[in-house]
Chain A
Amino acid sequence: DIVMTQTPLSLSVTPGQPASISCKSSQSLLHSDGKTYLFWYLQKPGQSPQLLIYEVSSRFSGVPDRFSGSGSGTDFTLKISRVEAEDVGVYYCMQGVYLPRTFGQGTKVEIK
């Protein structure tokens, strides 16, 4: 199975400051169709997960533009330009190329 490794596992951020989460996959996520299937999800406390970013850098419907994704191959990054209180929760990356689909361990983001 593809191993997805996130760092850091926890992050404490001052509102208005940027934040960054790294995700590394054990194999390249470049599909034969030319797309790279790396996704980012956020699970807020008491809520179901929500999709933030698909195919490395495309924001899902309704996702604020302070969220951005980048990377290629095996190394990916989620950036929040200015963290807001509503951004607290656990962030997961997921690879969508290989079966079974696999998630990173999760990064817990809290506000200072």
Chain B
Amino acid sequence: EVQLVESGGGLVQPGGSLRLSCAASGFSFSSYWMSWVRRAPGKGLEWVANIKQDGSEKYYVDSVKGRFTISRDNAKNSLYLQMNSLRAEDTAVYYCATGGNPGYWGQGTLVTVSS
């Protein structure tokens, strides 16, 4: 059974940083692109970033370019999202998902950016 468990969310002040993690199990992690998607309160889904199997290709939505970095550790079956220079508009539930186009999704982790 595919399992994706996100962690690392929390309350952070504007301008601060957080690192989200996603622990994957139940599938061959190193064989799949992986994605991050978010849902802000009262808003719809927004794709954030994805990463190729070996980490050689990474793509981001414009609003996070230069501030967020997606990465992975295939030896640890883990996906990461380093978020710097956080803004109020980054407040959202962040989901990791299998595939360059999301297939299986985790339960999400809440990031709140507020002073």
Contact = CB atoms under 8 A, between A and B. Distances in A.
Contact of B44 (A54, A96, A105): A105
A41 B102 CA distance: 9
Interface stretch (A20-28, A45-53, A70-78, A81-89): A45-53
Interface residues of B, number: 22
B100 interface: yes
Contacts of B47: 94, 100-103
Interface string A85-112: 0000010101010011111111000000
Contacts of A67: none
Contacts of A41: 45, 102
B95 interface: yes
Interface residues of A, number: 22
B79 to A, nearest CB: 15
A31 B35 CA distance: 20
Contacts of A49: 37, 45, 95, 102, 105
Contacts of B39: 43
Interface string B90-112: 00000100001111111110000
B61 interface: yes
